[in-house]
Amino acid sequence: MIRPLLAAAVGSASIAAILWWMRGRYVVVTVDGTSMKPSYRPGDRLLVRRTSADGLRRGDVVVVSASPATSPPFGAVGDHRWVVKRIAGLPGQLVPPEVARTVPHAIVPAGQLILLGDNAANSVDSRTAGSYAGERVLGVVLRQVGR
């Protein structure tokens, strides 16, 4: 009788450990706004893998802190306002022509990203705000998980 109870306890602890590990690596965010239409609409839920700016590629969709530049993106996800944008330029790449007037460099500076919303007419992004600090990345969108 003790063996089945011990096995159940160990199994439950393993599941709890896996869920705790996943919570630290993944987060689900809900889109609130139209800057990424038609790719994502308000109410869409996105699975995001937490990551740093290292290893990102042009075209990846990322979640980035929109908090003031003086406020580092640490703490709980709910402590910040997050935005969903597509990477249009990485450090060392040419600045895309559509953001050339807001980014005073021909090459994306080290530690910076050029981010654009898919809905250019309704997106606050690098076209209006300049480059974003790579350290502000929460993670990369893996897929849509529902509405």
Looking at the annotation, which residues are catalytic? 35, 85
Beta strands in 93-136 (DSSP E): 112-116, 132-133
Establish how many alpha carbons lie within 13 A of residue 11's alpha carbon, considering only the half-sphere containing its beta carbon. Answer: 6
Q: Are 67 and 81 in contact (CB under 8 A)?
A: yes
Phi-psi region of 146 (alpha: psi -120 to 50; beta: other; left: phi over 0): left
- 111: Cβ contacts below 8 Å, ≥ 6 apart: 53, 91, 133, 134, 135
Which token pair is 9? Answer: 């306890």
**Beta-carbon neighbour count of residue 131 at 10 Å?**
21
